[in-house]
Amino acid sequence: MPDITEFRGTNRFLSNFALVDIEVQGYPFPSTENAYQAYKSQDKSHVSACMHCTPGVSKALGKTCNVRDDFDFDDIKVDFMTAINKLKFMQSPFYEKLMATGDVQIIEGNTWHDNFWGDCSCDSCKDIVGQNHLGKILMSIRAHHRLDEIIEDEAWSVDEKVYKSSCMSCGKPIQKIGGIWQHTTCSPRHMATPQSFGRSKR
Domain ranges of the chain: 9-149, 164-202
Residue 193 has pLDDT above 70, yes or no: no
Omega cis (within 30) before 55: no
What is the rounded distance in angstroms from the CA atom of residue 10 to the CA atom of residue 8?
6
Mean pLDDT of the chain: 84
Q: What is the pLDDT of residues 89-99, one digit of tens each?
A: 999 999 999 99
pLDDT at 195: 36
SS (H, E, C) the chain: CCCECCCCHHHHHHCCCCCCCEEECCEEECCHHHHHHHCCCCCHHHHHHHHCCCHHHHHHHHHHCCCCCCCCHHHHHHHHHHHHHHHHCCCCCHHHHHHCCCCCCECCEECCCCCCCCEECCCCCCCCCCCCHHHHHHHHHHHHHHHHHHHHHHHHHHHHHHHCCCCCCCCCCCEEECCEEECCCCCCCCEECHHHHCCCCC
pLDDT interval class at 194 (50, 70, 90): very low
Helix axes 133-163, 73-88, angle to 10 degrees: 40
Q: What is the pLDDT of residues 121-143, one digit of tens each?
A: 999 998 999 999 999 999 999 99
Architecture of 9-149 per CATH?
Answer: Orthogonal Bundle (1.10)
- 16: Cα separation from own chain's centroid: 12
pLDDT at 167: 54
Q: What is the pLDDT of residues 128-182, one digit of tens each?
A: 999 999 999 999 999 999 988 887 766 655 555 444 445 555 555 555 555 554 5
The more confidently predicted of residues 75 and 181 is 75
The more confidently predicted of residues 114 and 199 is 114
Entry field: residues in the chain:
202
What pTM was estimated for this model as a whole? 0.75
Angle at 86 (CA atoms; ends 132, 92), nearest 5 degrees = 115
Please tell me the number of Cα atoms within 13 Å of 160 on its side-chain side.
9
With beta carbons less than 8 A apart as the criterion, state whether 23 and 90 touch: no
